[in-house]
Chains A and B, each alone.
Chain A
């Protein structure tokens, strides 16, 4: 059986990158390429000593998972991928913690790199998730920026097409 393996999780729990890669490869031990992207909570004020800063991630239970699955399925078909894993954390995350994992398995590296970057741009542009920053001065919602919209536009995936 050569069925692509799709895993999408949205929850508070942290993830182990090595374990996730092992699980993805287990289904397709002969796969030629696995590309991984790990997003982490960056420091809000570089150089400043503010270890109590971080992010709160909010999602739309049900819709968030389904929209990411639809994106992954679209890319599996478009790039003949062997498997995709997406883990997105929600809740309160401190500076330096892992937020998001995207794994893409394909026969060759080119498809794997492209699909991994496209999926990250698509997820950032369309998956229902919202970030709120907090630090010693308080908390504030993160605003969407044009850079992310432009990053998504270059892949030719239609806005809203993931649903």
Chain B
């Protein structure tokens, strides 16, 4: 499964603007009988580097968007999706 992951605000400063991942079949949640969700992607990304582990840690307040729509951790990923992680918003 190929995914483009985008980061904004603090996360962008820590991890860069965006990265494209080809989720290896062996590491994909389906291989372990689990659904491929936005939450599973966050867990997997935490293992990519110490910076990822820190920036995407479970205790960091975070929102996510799937194909530019706000989503929850339970939402299912689709091949080619654009997933964005970012802090709670502060506009206006």
Contacts and interface: CB of A to CB of B under 8 A. Distances in A.
B91 A124 contact: yes
- Residues of A contacting B: mostly: mixed
A123 interface: yes
- Residues of B contacting A: mostly: loop
B87 A144 contact: yes
Interface of A: 39, 57-60, 62-63, 66-67, 88, 99-100, 120, 123-132, 141-144, 159-160, 162-163
Given A130-B8, A130-B86, A163 B92 contact: no
5 contacts: A67-B70, A126-B89, A130-B87, A144-B61, A163-B68
Contacts, number: 79
Contacts of B70: 67, 126, 159-160, 162-163
Interface in B57-92: 61, 65, 68-72, 84, 86-92
Interface residues of B, number: 20
Contact of A62 (B9, B68, B92): B68
